[in-house]
Chain A
Amino acid sequence: MEEEIRFSHISMEFPGVLANDDISLSIHRGEVFALVGENGAGKSTLMNILYGINEPTAGELFVRGEKVTTFAPKAAIDRGIGMVHQHFMLVPSFTVAQNIVLGHEPRSAAVLFDNRKAEKVTRELVAEYGLEVDPSAEVRDISVGLQQRVEILKTLYRGAQILILDEPTAVLTPQETDELFEVIRRIVREKNMTVIIITHKLYEVMAISDRVGVMRAGKLIGVKNTCEVDERILASMMVGRPVLFDHLDKKGEPGEVAIQVKDLFVADNRGLPAVRGASFAVRKGEVLGIAAIEGNGQSELLEAITGLRKIEKGSVSVCGQPATGKSPGQIRQMGLSHVPEDRLSTGVDKVASVADNLLMGRHKEKRFNLFGFHQRRSTIDRYAQELYDKFDIRGAGIHIPVGSMSGGNMQKVVVAREFTFDTPALIISQPTRGVDIGAMEFFHTRIIERRNAGAAILLSSADLDEVFRLSDRIITLYEGRITGEFKADEITKEEIGFYMTGSRKEADA
């Protein structure tokens, strides 16, 4: 196979961090190359070098045998490199065609934008690559999967021969993921393009890639033919030690209801209805998972239950006590802890120390205060250190600001604080978002531990695998309505996908 890209001893150093450490790698024309690694392993940095966003501090980059000297996205695009970022860069109020030609618009009379020609070009592209999408539809009206397709078309319009996809399936349903993979296979097969996928979902690596490169702590640990490895081997390479994806041991029978939600209506930040009449109950000793595509009301739902958002209609009760209209503090008193979905904005005080963050909520306890107001720093530090060790938080100690820690460790701070309250009810949202595989294991074990100890857990996660792995029951949420309720072991991911996109259980029956 012909060599398309060659990284030769590439190193990239940011102040204090060696993000890429002497990486040499060849990528062939016409292959799907998966780049895997934990957060902060340096995958994105390496791809940013290829796309011209970063200039390496040492080493050389060759594209089709030619040495790259100018590092700029524009130069990269000219070399036929296209990148689809995790967060789409589209103009919502523009049509598909307008978005695709943006930056290289066809013009009539030298200055005027030629919309007809733009749509024609788009249609030609759609036909050529078989990526079905309506050129005249506005981007804000089409699904996330189609938006991603528009992003891919945009790179193709600019003549991309090499396509970099950064975590492309993070926002997709299982069906959309399948369609994306179909598209990738087609452009590789028919157009002999080179596709590089950055991901951390190992089963996707197995499903789509020809070869896979594993990165860890800035180094390229190894490059393998996908057919010669399995998920377990890749995971161990990523983490640097054997990873046990053992079956989680769920014990005990569900007990009494701890979280009861009845006919709940909640509005989003713009005042539009986000949750429309949700009812469900979570019992002690079970995990109820919410499966939903982002933006379907799950965030608002959980905020309403925890008192962070106003309830428009309906009721919530926690451990038998009415929680509707109560403050977050009062609801905590009733016995509800909360691991929020966005730890940076809600879960921690970034500038405060790890110790201060771990203390939050307990700071009024007698043992931490002399005469009820003077903080006993030594007792607080001892308590914080205890949690720090118990939850295996790794960082520069309890006195540094939480904001300077990695996402996984920051999450450990949140989980350590919330789990230590030992409340009968727990709300956990996105427990492992941005957390690496090694730590993921840790969080899952902890969650099931709490479940087995008799806690009622309401779980929401964008990672469908996680919802399946942890939940006893699953409810699907679509546009603020519950579209189905299932036992986790009686349904497949594909089936769930249908309900996540609006099919109703009743309608199917």
Chain B
Amino acid sequence: MKKRWIDLGYIVTLLISLAVALLIGAVILAVTGHDPLKAYGALLGGAFSNARHIGDMLEYAMVLCLCGLACDIGSRVGIFNVGGEGQLLLGAIFAAQIGVWMKGASPYLAIPCAALGAMAVGGFYAFIPGYLKVKQKVNEVITTIMLNTVAVFICQFLAKGPWKNANKNIVAGTENLPSGFWLTKLVPGSNLSTAIIAAAVMTFFVWYILQKTSKGYEMRLTGDNPRFAKYAGLKTDRIVLITMIVSGMMCGLVGMFRVYGAEHIYKSTVSNEYYFEGLMVAMIAQYQPVPTIIISLIFAVLKIGAMGMETAAGVPKQLYLIIQTVVIFCMAAETGIRAGIARAREKRAARQDVKERSKGGVEHA
């Protein structure tokens, strides 16, 4: 493993694929009768034109990044946690309800309680597929996907039933979070709150543990080759299970951040399949923490910017979805692009070598 903090080649290929995607998007825009420059201008404007947009963008990037990291740590030990969405929703609704229950308590007590509650619920919800995986060899992809659906229904039941908001206009939602528990907004009017500080600390710790500690080392070797790890004496089952639980705890905490930092109520809109976008980020980032952060930011700019594009340049929603997909496609192709460049370079070198050799007297076939 080469010692490097950020791989320059990676950034270059990432930028190339992004440029290619925007170019394809421009063609689509032009064909459908929009001015690509104007549309892209609106996109950037949507993301950066004022503090509120920048705040929303950062909050969205935070959610993607944490979800992506939850996926990263799973992949490090060789599991694929697709159930983050369910863990996130359950974390959100429990955190919201804990806030409702603790109305009148000090926020210094309530907020940590809510965070712990959300982590416990998310962790438990990840423990189930983790345990099945380790003990019964049940494929975690299938169980986590199915448990997502279960979680959605549990949340619906709670939000429409026992924990329903007294307000008739809210069909499915918990009571509003007491305003004393709201996390302080960093940019007024936006979704950006102090949660991002906690998120930054978490991100740092995930990176630190994965890259710098002996636990991260054990996780890495377990994920690379579980048989080798077991042979060498690691308790691989335990490592996998704990990692799965931690992944779920992170997702649960994201749910809590959404409620306490942005929504101030549990509604099904706390997550609009955010975890799956985070998953995509992680995959494109090849499950590496630092690229996960970078790609989260790019995705957030596109997403928030696209809303601006719709309002300012009149580009219909469907079109920006297409562009977004192309971007994802091209960024996912990053690996392929890189391999292609490397292959071409090798081939050229080999051919050069043979040519020089054959000049030295060897007859040519």
Q: Which residue of B lies closest to A330 (CB)?
A: B233
The answer to whether A347 touches B228, judged by C-beta atoms less than 8 angstroms apart, is yes
Of A29-37, A367-375, A446-454, the stretch lying at the interface with chain B is A367-375
Q: A62 to chain B: closest CB distance in Å? A: 12
Nearest CB of B to A363, in Å: 5
- Of B22-30, B304-312, B352-360, the stretch lying at the interface with chain A is B352-360
B231 close to A (CB within 8 Å): yes
Which A1-45 residues have a C-beta within 8 angstroms of B? 8-9, 11, 13-16, 18, 22
Interface flags, B341-365, vs A, CB<8A=1, else 0: 0010011011001100110001111
A329 lies within 8 A of B365 (CB) = no
Does A360 contact B232, Cβ atoms closer than 8 Å? yes
Q: Which B residues are CB-close (under 8 A) to A424?
A: none
Whether the pair B217, A375 counts as a contact (CB closer than 8 A) is yes
Check if A59 is an interface residue, CB within 8 A of chain B.
yes
- B interface majority secondary structure: helix
Are B218 and A363 interface neighbours, CB within 8 A? yes
Mark the stretch among A119-127, A246-254, A351-359, A474-482 that contacts chain B.
A351-359
A340–B221 alpha-carbon span in the complex (Å): 17
A57 touches B354 (CB 8 A): yes
The tally of residues in A whose CB lies under 8 Å from a CB in B reads 46
- From residue B191, how far is it (CB to closest CB) to chain A in Å? 35
In the complex, which residues of chain A have a beta carbon less than 8 angstroms from the beta carbon of B365? 56-60
**Chain-A contact segment, one of B43-51, B152-160, B207-215, B315-323:** B207-215
B3 interfacial by beta-carbon distance below 8 Å: yes
Q: How far apart are B361's CB and chain A's nearest CB, in angstroms?
A: 9
CB distance from A268 to the nearest CB of B (A): 16
Q: How far is the CB of B223 from chain A (nearest CB, A)?
A: 9
| Residue B220 CB within 8 A of the other chain | yes
Contacts of B234 in A (CB 8 A): 329
Q: Report how far A332 CA is from B353 CA in the complex, Å.
A: 49
Query: Is A346 positioned at the interface, with any CB of B under 8 Å from its CB?
Result: yes
Q: Known: A9-B363, A11-B357, A352-B221. Is A332-B233 also a contact (CB below 8 A)?
A: yes
> How many residue pairs at the A-B interface have CB separations less than 8 Å?
111
| Residue among A60, A330, A360, A399 with the highest chain B CB neighbour number at 10 A | A360
- Answer yes or no: A262 CB below 8 A from chain B CBs: no
Residues of chain B from 216 to 268 with CB closer than 8 A to chain A in the complex: 217-218, 220-221, 224-225, 227-235
Q: Are A373 and B346 in contact (CB under 8 A)?
A: no
A59 x B363 contact (CB < 8 A): yes
B231 touches A340 (CB 8 A): yes
Whether the pair A399, B2 counts as a contact (CB closer than 8 A) is yes
Contact indicator B225/A350 (Cβ below 8 Å): yes
A356:B227 contact, CB within 8 angstroms: no
Is B1 in contact with chain A by the CB < 8 A criterion? yes
Taking a contact as CB atoms under 8 Å apart, the answer to whether A11 and B362 are in contact is yes
Given A329-B234, A363-B218: A375 and B213 within 8 A (CB)?
Answer: yes
B362: chain A residues at CB < 8 Å are: 9, 11, 22, 58-59
- What are the residues of chain A within 8 A of B232 when measuring CB–CB? 328-329, 332, 360-361
Q: How many Å lie between the Cα of A14 and that of B365 in the bound state?
A: 16
Q: How far is the CB of A158 from chain B (nearest CB, A)?
A: 27
Shortest CB-to-CB span from A40 to chain B, Å, is 17
Decide if A226 is an interface residue (CB 8 Å cutoff).
Answer: no
B364 x A58 contact (CB < 8 A): yes
State whether A306 touches B231 (Cβ < 8 A): yes
Judged by a CB distance under 8 angstroms, whether A235 is at the interface is: no
A residues in contact with B224, CB < 8 Å: 349-352
Complex CA distance for A338 and B233, rounded to whole angstroms? 11
A356 touches B231 (CB 8 A): no
Which B residues are CB-close (under 8 A) to A338? 231
Of chain B, the residue at the smallest CB distance from A368 is B214
- Of B2, B217, B234, B358, the most chain A CB neighbours within 10 A belong to B217
> In the bound complex, what is the Cα–Cα distance between A13 and B349 (angstroms)?
11
Say whether A434 faces chain B, with CB atoms less than 8 Å apart: no
Question: A399, B3: Cβ atoms under 8 Å?
Answer: yes
- Chain B residue contacts of A369, Cβ below 8 A: 214
Judging by beta carbons under 8 Å apart, are B363 and A373 in contact? no
Bound complex: CA of A14 vs CA of B231, how far in Å? 35
Smallest CB-CB separation from A375: which chain B residue? B214
Contact status B214-A356, CB under 8 Å: no
Q: A22-B362, A59-B362, A399-B1 are in contact. Are A13 and B220 (CB under 8 A)?
A: no
Is A364 interfacial (CB 8 A cutoff)? yes
Please indicate which of the listed interface residues B3, B225, B233, B343 has the most CB atoms of chain A within 10 Å of its own CB: B233
Known A11-B357, A361-B233: A16·B346 in contact at CB below 8 Å: yes
A308 CA / B317 CA spacing, docked (Å): 55
Q: A11-B357, A374-B212 are in contact. Are A347 and B346 (CB under 8 A)?
A: no
Chain A residue numbers with a CB within 8 Å of B346 are 15-16
Contact call A360/B215, Cβ cutoff below 8 A: no
The reply to whether B215 and A348 form a contact with Cβ atoms under 8 Å apart is no
Q: Closest CB-CB distance, A348 to chain B, in whole Å?
A: 6
Indicate which residue in A15, A340, A349 contacts B350 across the interface (CB closer than 8 Å).
A15
Residues 284-313 of chain B: 1 if any A CB is under 8 Å from the residue's CB, otherwise 0? 000000000000000000000000000000
CA distance A56 to B364 in the complex (A): 10
Q: Give the one of A306, A363, A368 with max B CB within 10 A.
A: A363
The 8 Å CB contact of A347, one of B217, B231, B343, B363, is B231
A492 at the interface (CB under 8 A from B): no
- Among residues of B, the one whose C-beta sits closest to the C-beta of A354 is B1
Q: Which residue of A lies closest to B347 (CB)?
A: A15
Q: Is the CB of B357 within 8 A of A58?
A: yes
Q: Give 1 or 0 for each of A201-234: 1 = CB within 8 Å of chain B CB.
A: 0000000000000000000000000000000000
A269 within 8 A of B: no
A156 CB, min distance to chain B CBs, angstroms: 31
Beyond known contacts A338-B231, A360-B232: 17 more, CB 8 A cutoff? A11-B362, A15-B343, A58-B358, A60-B363, A308-B231, A327-B235, A347-B231, A348-B225, A350-B225, A352-B1, A360-B228, A363-B214, A363-B217, A364-B214, A373-B213, A374-B213, A375-B217
- 8 pairs of A and B residues whose beta carbons are closest in the complex: A329-B233, A15-B346, A349-B224, A353-B1, A360-B232, A349-B225, A373-B213, A332-B233
Write the residues of chain A forming the contact surface with B, with a CB cutoff of 8 angstroms.
Answer: 8-9, 11, 13-16, 18, 22, 56-60, 306, 308, 327-330, 332-333, 338, 340, 345-353, 356, 359-361, 363-364, 368-369, 373-375, 399, 401
Q: List 25 A-B contacts (CB under 8 A).
A: A8-B363, A9-B363, A11-B357, A16-B346, A56-B365, A57-B365, A58-B358, A58-B362, A58-B364, A58-B365, A59-B363, A327-B230, A327-B235, A328-B232, A333-B233, A340-B231, A345-B225, A351-B224, A353-B1, A359-B217, A361-B232, A363-B217, A363-B218, A369-B214, A374-B214
- Name B residues whose Cβ lies closer than 8 Å to a Cβ of A: 1-3, 212-215, 217-218, 220-221, 224-225, 227-235, 343, 346-347, 349-350, 353-354, 357-358, 362-365
